[in-house]
Amino acid sequence: MAAEQKLMSVRRDWRERDVRVVLAALVIAVATVATIALFASQLQRTLVTSASSFLAADRQLEAENGRPIPDAWLQEATARGLETGQMVEFSTMVFGGGGFQLVSVKAVSNEYPLRGEIEIQSGPDSPRELVKAGPQPGEVWINPRLLRLLELEIGDSLEVGNLQLTVSGLLIREPDGGFRLSALAPRVMMHKDDVPATGVVQEGSRVEYVYLFAGEESALEGYYEWLRPQLEPSHEWEGVRDGETFSRSLQRAERFLLLGGSLAVLLAAVAVAVASRQYALSQRDTVALLKTLGLNGAGIGRLYLRRLLLWGITGVVGGLVVAIPLFWLLASMLSDVLERPVDIYLDPAALTPALLTALVSLFAFAYPPIRRLRNVPAMRVLRSQPGESGREAWPDMLVAIVAIFGLVWLYAGELALVVSLLGGLVLLLLALGLLGWGLVTVLRRVRGGGNAWRLALVGLYRHRNASLSQIAVFAMTLMLAATLVLVRTSLLNDWQAQLPDDAPNHFLINIAPETVDEVAGFWDEQGQPLEELYPMVRGRLTELNGQPVKEAVSKDERIGALNRELNLTWMESLPEDNEIIEGQWFADGEQNGVSVEAELAGRLGLQLGDELTFTIGSEKVTEVVTSIRTVQWDSMKPNFYMAFPPGGGLEGLPATWITSFYLPPEKKTALNAFSRQFPTVSVLEIDHIISRIQEIVQQVTRAIEAILALILAAALVVMAAVVSATLRDRQREGALLRTLGGRQSLLVRSTMLEFAVLGGFAGLLGVVAAEAAVYALQFRMFEGTFNWHWQVIIPIPLISAVVLSLFGRWQLRPVLSVSPMLLLRRLE
Amino acid sequence: MNQMTKPTPESQPPMLRAKGLTHRVRLETDTLTILQGVNLEINRGESVAIVGRSGSGKTTLLGLLAGLDTPTEGSVELDGATISQLSEDQRAQLRASRVGFVFQSFQLLPALTALENVMLPLELAGIEEPEKRARELLERVGLGERLTHTPRQLSGGEQQRVAIARAFASEPVVLFADEPTGNLDNRTGQAVSDLLMALNREQGTTLVMVTHDEHLAARCARQFHIEAGQLTEPEALGEPVS
């Protein structure tokens, strides 16, 4: 109907303060949720791509039995639309320059790498460059240390077995270098087609064939399904590796973003709810008039429903207009620090949560009070009718809360998060109930008078319903904002603690037992002492309680640890960052038992007392599980799935030692002297990986801060919504007080006090509820430890009191600046 | 509209008839009787004033007669329709087609312009060319130059003139006025009541006005007094004062 349309126009609605708050809340909600979801999806892609580049492919198939896989397997992969590539890895002696050296050779096919890039230098002083293919046939790339060890120069020839190859580049980094400790000797990279001519690889040689696969996820899955029944125990199918520090950092960031997004959803919903309830109240006169003029209930319903839709569209469009450039900015910030930037892609699916948020906010929170408008009696045009008691709103509130937490669950996919936040809110409401009871029983005794304090307390008592609901909303807002700030702080602290500036950035592997003391002495002299040294024995877990382990464990579990050799160790005392969660650490002198890492124990279903049999070379070692412990995989120190006591099951088996240490960039040259002195010790340089992680963490931190700012803006909108809800009443009261002879200073003082008390309570409740939520979250989502955050518990209530009392003073402005008469008339 | 000829009061059933109208409001502890057995007949084209003090029940009576509310007991017939038997939506339909209102506090929609406020009931009643009719009426009330102004940009008297234009826009058969000059000063009030009376005469509308202003009441053909929920008609005054 034309009249209904006439009543609907965003431009006209915009003139109303409450509508502005609803629209602002919607725009911020959509903007925040959309930005976060888009960024999180970008982060996810970054994560997968970066993790894939650690494999140089999406999947790897390793054949550790020294035999290539059947050609049919590769043909099948090609038929399924997958890209494939091949590598052969073996150790051999090479000759060149003035000497010979044991090296670890990696021979690659033309396709290598399918994912990621190889970093090389064309000479010791040339810039580093990224290339997408390995050396050509007849050429070889070598580790810079090998260049120095053999005193070679670029262009010299290097003899690998029977073949002379030309050194054409320095190999700085392979995309699939990762943290793997198998690279024991300096690396040499050559072309796979040259391998036969070397004559090194023969039947029975220790050779590992590795096959690379890349393509659509579904094709990869399908191929694995096809392949799995044909795999032998020595075949290892590897997907994106977990346990990488890099992925872990990003995963936490992603979780934080999800938490932020969820809080934004909640805050926006609160803002929309408060503002639209206020809007509905202000529309009662209009509805009564429209009814008087003959618009029926259905017409009223249609009118406001369409208006809601219009707001929804405006909110979504406005939100996206803000979100998309912001996402672009954040994503390019992230992209700048990635060595292999991921294309910025606006994932339409990531917009769904934002649209759902707008929809749920509108229909679960805004619609109910507006729907009740049709019940406004027409008689209201003649005489004011009792308004809503608030009781009608309870069932709606319940539905809305369920809807919004359902949305958060759907969005974050973390029940723990929903429960933590909901728990915090319930706690807050309980405290609020107590406070309300206190307000009624204690403040009832206070009688008014000339004193500002008493006036303030009487004010609180008289407006107890409004005061309580204001405290509720302020406290809720503060709780959500404080939760986010606290989690952010602990997240950043965790990252910093995890990767301090002097985090170990080099591993020493393959240290012979008799040189351990010398090696430690060498680095002590350099002023770079080593971390703890551990013995390492490589072995496979083959039996569980006397049964072959692959039968004992459910087939659905793909456990990489079972497919490859594990690093086993023995140690006297538990490393500082490990923690026993079940059983007991070895007693002094104890020689039996084995301690198992918790995650692996969980996946294998291991219990204390289970019998594990390891095959080490030709030996079998059987021990009983005596403890289960957690390990900090991202500590940059040697970590072990299985630890034995000194003199225990590993006694007498050949071991080499491993350790890590920090080497500052300016002392890198010491590695040359070290390599010359200890040619058999391998040095694994991970300094570039660490600095990359640190840079990424920094960028993600910036992104998180930008999003935090957005969310705090949402919190401000909520505050504005609440304040605007009571503005007129407060002004009218102030005007009346002045009319009745109240001095301005009294009015100012009592109002400021009233708001200060209100703000103080809200702050206190909010902080306590936030602590409760953070306590829960910390355990379930961020694996951190909980501490009381005195740095927020004390200042937040104070700041909230001061800010609100200034807010109260600001609200009074019109009351103080014009004559009471004029004001009363204006407010009529 | 359906009013083709102008019927004489004597030959037609009354425009408004209230029988045994009683209205009670339930309070927390007891029940308050606001109207008690009110009987009333108002003929077509008549102008009637209901005079009473604050709290006498006159606004409640107006609301019941206009179908804004339903009585606890008794019945109201408006132009042949028994209001208390109609549903809420049917009453809305009846108001849209046959009833006009003028309120003490004007009740204009603040977000709409003067023109849009006047067009509103025309559109709700589905009358064609609402804008043309609304312009004519606003010109008639002397606001031809203020069509695009919103209520906030108009004075009290001007707002009430817009409200009067709106009330007559859909050519109602009966017009209810609740203290139409109550919020205006004497001179403005006089001008507004002149306009109201004049339009009422021009359109032959039945006018039911609630007021505590004896002077305004004296301009109506008949006057009722209401006190403590009881309605009395002191005497027929004959020709109204104009």
pLDDT at residue B239 in the model: 47
CA A119 – CA A694 distance, rounded (Å): 20
Question: How far apart, in whole angstroms, are the C-alpha atoms of residue B83 and residue B91?
Answer: 7
* A717 in the same domain as A664: no
Distance to chain B for A805, nearest Cα, Å: 32
Task: Note the helical H segments in A624-686.
Answer: 670-677
The answer to whether position A613 is within a domain reads yes
Residue B214 CB burial class (10 angstroms; 0-12, 13-18, ≥19): exposed
User: Is the same domain home to A485 and A626?
Assistant: no
Best of B54, B91, B95 to substitute, by most chain A Cβ atoms within 10 angstroms, is B95
Contact A766, A479 (CB under 8 A): yes
What contacts B16, CB < 8 A, 6 or more positions away?
B40, B41, B42, B65, B76, B77, B78, B79, B174, B206, B208
Characterize A415-430 residue by residue with b for buried, 16 or more Cβ atoms within 10 angstroms of its Cβ, and e for exposed: eebbbbbbbbbebbee
- Please give the sequence-ordered ranges of beta strands (E in DSSP) within A656-815, or none if there are none: 656-661, 682-685
Tokens 């399904």 sit at which residue?
A225
Other C-beta atoms closer than 10 Å to the C-beta of A365 total 28
From its phi and psi, is residue B171 left (phi > 0), alpha (psi between -120 and 50) or beta? left
Per the DSSP assignment, residues forming a β-bridge with A597 are A629
- Which chain A residues contact residue B112 at CB under 8 A? 6-7, 12
User: Which of B82-117 are b and which e, b meaning 16 or more Cβ less than 10 Å from the residue's Cβ?
Assistant: ebeebebeebbbbbbbbbbbbbbbbbbbebbbbbbb
Mean pLDDT, chain A, integer: 80
The b-or-e profile of A723-743 (16+ CB within 10 A means b, else e) is bbbbeeebbbbbbebbeeebe
Nearest CA in chain A to B115: A6
Residues A457 and A522 in one domain: no
Cβ contact, residue pair B63, A382, below 8 Å: yes
Beta carbons of A296 and B93 less than 8 Å apart: yes
Residues A734 and A763 in one domain: yes
**Does A8 reside within a domain?**
no
Note whether residue A794 is domain-resident.
yes
The two tokens of residue A695 are 């840079």
- Does the residue A99 lie in any domain? yes
Q: What does chain A come to in residues?
A: 828
Q: What is the pLDDT of residue A182?
A: 40
Closest CA to A458 of A750, A163, A681: A750
Q: Which residues of B touch A299 (CB under 8 A)?
A: 124
Same domain, A353 and A470: yes
Distance CA B115, CA B137 (A): 9
CA distance A541 to A596: 12
Kindly state the average pLDDT of the residues B144-172.
90
User: End of a domain among A657, A685, A713?
Assistant: A685
Contact A343, A55 (CB under 8 A): no
The pLDDT score that the predictor gives to residue A1 is 47
Q: How confident is the model at residue A556 (pLDDT cuts 50, 70, 90)?
A: very low
Q: What are phi and psi of A56, to 5 degrees?
A: 60, 15
Looking at A213, A239, A265, the residue that finishes a domain is: A239
pLDDT, residue A243, reads 41
Q: How large is the average pLDDT for residues A679-702?
A: 72
* pLDDT > 90 in chain A, percent: 12
* Residue B10: its H or E element: none
Q: Which H or E element spans position A275?
A: helix A245-282
CB-CB under 8 Å, A295 with B101: no
Three state DSSP letters for A343-367: CCCCCHHHHHHHHHHHHHHHHHHHH
Which domains can be identified in chain B, with CATH numbers?
16-232 (3.40.50.300)
Q: What is the biggest distance separating any 2 CA atoms in chain B, rounded to whole angstroms?
A: 54
B68 close to A376: Cβ distance less than 8 angstroms: no
B178 and A382 within 8 Å at the Cβ level: the answer is yes
pLDDT digits (tens, 9 = 90+) for A304-346: 888 888 888 989 999 999 999 988 988 887 777 665 566 778 8
**Six-digit token pair at A718?**
């909520």
Other C-beta atoms lying within 10 Å of the C-beta of residue A615: 14
Which residues in chain A have their CB less than 8 angstroms from residue B59's CB? 382-383
Question: Is some CB atom of chain B closer than 8 A to the CB atom of A789?
Answer: no
Residue A615 reports pLDDT greater than 60: yes
Distance CA A516, CA A524 (A): 12
What dihedral do alpha carbons A146, A147, A150, A155 form, nearest 10°?
130
**CA distances (Å), A420 to each of A707, A770, A788, in order?**
21, 10, 17
Q: Distance from A713 to chain B by nearest Cα, in Å?
A: 29
CA–CA separation, B120 vs B133, rounded Å? Answer: 11
By residue count, chain B amounts to 242
Q: What percent of chain A has pLDDT over 70?
A: 83
Total domains in chain A come to 3
Decide if A385 is inside a domain: no
In a domain, A6, yes or no: no
- Tokens at residue A763, please? 């702050």
Per CB-CB distance under 8 Å, the chain A contacts of B92 are 291, 294-297, 378
Same domain for A783 and A765 = yes
Q: Does the CB of A431 have a partner CB in chain B at under 8 Å? A: no
User: For B9-24, what is the mean pLDDT?
Assistant: 82
Classify the C-alpha dihedral B65-B71-B73-B77 as positive or negative: positive
B103, B121, B126 member nearest A381 (Cβ): B103
pLDDT value for B235: 62
The answer as to whether A71 is a domain residue is yes
Check whether A161 has a pLDDT greater than 70. yes
The CA–CA distances, whole Å, from A549 to A605, A786, B7 equal: 11, 38, 105
Pair A178, A233 in one domain: yes
| Kind of pairing between the strands at A99-108 and A187-191 | parallel
pLDDT band at A748; cut points 50, 70, 90: confident
Q: Are residues A470 and A528 in the same domain?
A: no
Mean pLDDT calculated for residue range B141-168: 90
From A191, A208, A239, the end of a domain falls on A239
- Give the C-alpha separation, A418 to A439, whole Å: 31
Helices A17-53, A297-337: crossing angle, 10 deg rounding: 40
pLDDT digits (tens, 9 = 90+) for A200-257: 887 666 788 999 998 887 888 899 999 988 888 778 787 755 445 555 666 667 777 7
The arithmetic mean of pLDDT across residues A537-551, rounded, is: 82
Three-state DSSP state, A90: strand
Whether A104 has a pLDDT exceeding 50, the answer reads yes
Q: Is A673 on the interface with B (CB under 8 A)?
A: no
Residue A5, in any domain of the structure: no
Q: What is the Cα–Cα distance from A232 to A722, expressed in whole angstroms?
A: 67
* Placement of tokens 């809720």 in the chain: A476
Average the pLDDT over B89-102 and give the result. 87
pLDDT digits 0-9 by tens, A261-302? 777 777 778 778 877 887 888 888 888 888 888 888 888 888
- A748 and A705 in a single domain? The answer is yes
The answer to whether A16 faces chain B, any CB pair under 8 Å, is yes
What are the C-alpha distances in Å from A300 to residues A27, A285, A305, A361, B125?
26, 13, 8, 21, 15
Position A329 scores a pLDDT of: 87
- What's the rounded Cα separation, in Å, for the pair A282 and B141? 30
Give yes or no: residues A105 and A213 share one domain: yes
Q: What is the pLDDT of residues B24-49, one digit of tens each?
A: 988 778 888 889 999 999 999 999 99
Same domain, A565 and A667: yes
Q: Which domain holds residue A197?
A: 55-239
Contact A12 B111 (CB under 8 A): yes
Q: Indicate the pLDDT class of residue A181, thresholds 50, 70 and 90.
A: very low
Give the bridge partners for A89, in sequence order.
A106, A208
Residues of chain B in contact with residue A386, where contact means CB-CB under 8 angstroms, are none
A447 shares a domain with A303: yes
Query: How many CB atoms lie under 10 A from the CB of residue A289?
Result: 21
Q: Is B58 helix (H, G, I), strand (E, B) or coil?
A: helix
What phi and psi, each to the nearest 5 degrees, are found at residue A167? -75, 110
Which residues lie across from B234 on neighbouring strands? Answer: none
pLDDT given at position A251 = 67
Test mutation, A284, A293, A300, A380, chain B, max B CBs within 10 A: A293
| CB atoms closer than 10 angstroms to residue A162 | 9
Q: Cis before residue A113, ω within 30 degrees of 0? A: yes
> Tell me, what's the pLDDT at B224?
93
